[in-house]
């Protein structure tokens, strides 16, 4: 039984190394997992191979989380190698690539130097060390030129770095900043798209792309970018306000009425019938949360309504305590709390009794468009 396990480990390990050499990263990832399942469950180099494969597949978040789970072997066994690289050197080899992808170029250089010292005979390690060093220099040169407002030269420096590391999201984002300063919005958007292709949750290129689309008055694209940013930065007031102004501009471009639309941010408490009627007649969408202080479900839903108010700044959010204002509750025929009603341009379009958070957000998102 032990012999069969060892044979399975050896078979999958060999396939993993072959896939890595061919650049077949999906197969390398699959075979690394198969090797670990077969019994090699305390192998640092297999763990690092998974990290490298995830990085090459542009799954940076997964690569980082897997890096934290790689087993530690101190000291590394003598003469241990993987895919032609000494195992200890391979761990630094992969770490250098991770640091590069994250834009921590100085750390990447140090990791590559350690890999070179541990395994000076590996051509693959030597090539990475050279590449990392040159890319880091190009990035420093680009940054210095950018600070000196020599944007065309800075873009060329970043391009030199990208020639050596064509999947580096940070360098694409930096070059996009140069194009933006030069008023070349389309080229800036293209580089932001490339940065997001390699790091989908990277907020800087999203912000830059939104700014470029704003300059070109592509309001639907601006709204889309700021909505994506709201998911990544839910408590950022500047992003919330930018989203609101983009939504107003989009409505204007479609010929919709935008009179008296103001940036929100807080749930407005309603104290009188007059205040309630005035709120109902506001242009756009209004969401009213009917509740009581004593109800447990209302207490649970209320903070969530507050968070929706921040995330959907173009919508008016109001709350009515039907114990304090029974006349409004009676007029609106509210018998059960919590109840949420959604109005659009003075007309009720939705009523939800005891809504779940998922249903409520779906409805708010649906009517916010």
69-102, pLDDT tens digit by residue? 988 877 777 778 888 899 899 999 999 999 999 9
pTM of the model: 0.73
- Out of 71-75, 117-121, 135-139, 357-361, pick the least confident: 71-75
Smallest CA-to-CA distance from 44 within 64, 73, 21 is with 73
Task: List, in order of start, the domains of the chain with CATH numbers.
Answer: 2-135 (1.25.40.10), 167-253 (1.25.40.10), 268-368 (3.40.30.10)
Closest among 114, 117, 112, 124 to 82, alpha carbons compared: 124
- Cis omega (within 30 of 0) for bond into 338: yes
pLDDT of residue 101: 94
Answer whether residue 358 shows pLDDT above 60: yes
Mean predicted lDDT score pLDDT of the chain: 90
Percent of all residues in the chain with a pLDDT value above 70, rounded to a whole number:
97
What per-residue confidence (pLDDT) applies to 124?
95
Looking at mean pLDDT, say which of 3-17, 75-89, 192-206 comes out highest.
192-206
- Closest by Cα among 195, 165, 167 to 180: 195
Interatomic CA distance for residues 79 and 59, integer angstroms: 31
Q: What is the mean pLDDT of residues 179-186?
A: 96
Query: What is the structure's pLDDT at 136?
Result: 97
Mean pLDDT value of segment 226-241 = 83
Q: pLDDT tens across 268-323, in order?
A: 899 888 888 888 877 778 899 999 999 999 999 999 998 888 778 778 899 999 99
Residue 309 is predicted with a pLDDT of: 84
Distance in angstroms (rounded) separating the CA atoms of residues 330 and 21: 73
């Amino acid at each position: 039984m032990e012999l069969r396990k060892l044979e399975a480990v050896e078979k999958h390990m060999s396939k993993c190394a072959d896939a890595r050499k061919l650049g077949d990263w999906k197969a390398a990832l699959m075979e690394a997992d198969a090797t670990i399942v077969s019994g090699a469950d305390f192998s640092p180099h297999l763990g690092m191979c998974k990290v490298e494969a995830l990085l090459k597949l542009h799954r940076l978040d997964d690569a980082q989380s897997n890096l934290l789970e790689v087993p530690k072997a101190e000291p590394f066994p003598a003469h241990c190698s993987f895919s032609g690289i000494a195992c200890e050197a391979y761990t630094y080899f992969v770490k250098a690539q991770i640091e590069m992808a994250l834009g921590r170029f100085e750390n990447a250089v140090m990791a590559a130097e350690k890999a070179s010292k541990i395994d000076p005979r590996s051509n693959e390690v030597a090539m990475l060390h050279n590449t990392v060093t040159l890319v880091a220099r190009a990035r420093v040169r680009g940054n210095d030129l950018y600070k000196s407002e020599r944007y065309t030269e800075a873009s060329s420096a970043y391009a030199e770095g990208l020639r050596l590391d064509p999947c580096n999201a940070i360098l694409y984002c930096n070059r996009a900043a140069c194009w933006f300063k030069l008023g070349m919005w389309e080229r800036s958007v293209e580089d932001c798209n490339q940065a997001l292709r390699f790091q989908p949750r990277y907020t800087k290129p999203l912000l830059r792309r939104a700014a470029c689309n704003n300059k070109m008055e592509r309001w639907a694209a601006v709204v889309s970018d700021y909505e994506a940013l709201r998911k990544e930065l839910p408590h950022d007031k500047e992003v919330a306000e930018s989203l609101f102004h983009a939504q107003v501009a989009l409505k204007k471009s479609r010929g919709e009425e935008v009179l008296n639309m103001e940036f929100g941010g807080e749930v407005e408490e309603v104290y009188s019938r007059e205040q309630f009627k005035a709120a109902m007649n506001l242009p756009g969408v209004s969401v009213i949360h009917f509740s009581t202080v004593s109800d447990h479900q209302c207490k649970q839903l209320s903070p969530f309504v507050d968070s929706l108010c921040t995330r959907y700044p173009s919508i008016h959010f109001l709350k009515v305590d039907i114990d304090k204002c029974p006349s409004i509750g009676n007029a609106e025929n509210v018998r059960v709390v919590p109840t949420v009603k959604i109005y659009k341009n003075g007309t009720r379009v939705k009523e939800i009794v005891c809504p779940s958070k998922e249903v409520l957000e779906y409805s708010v998102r649906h009517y916010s468009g």
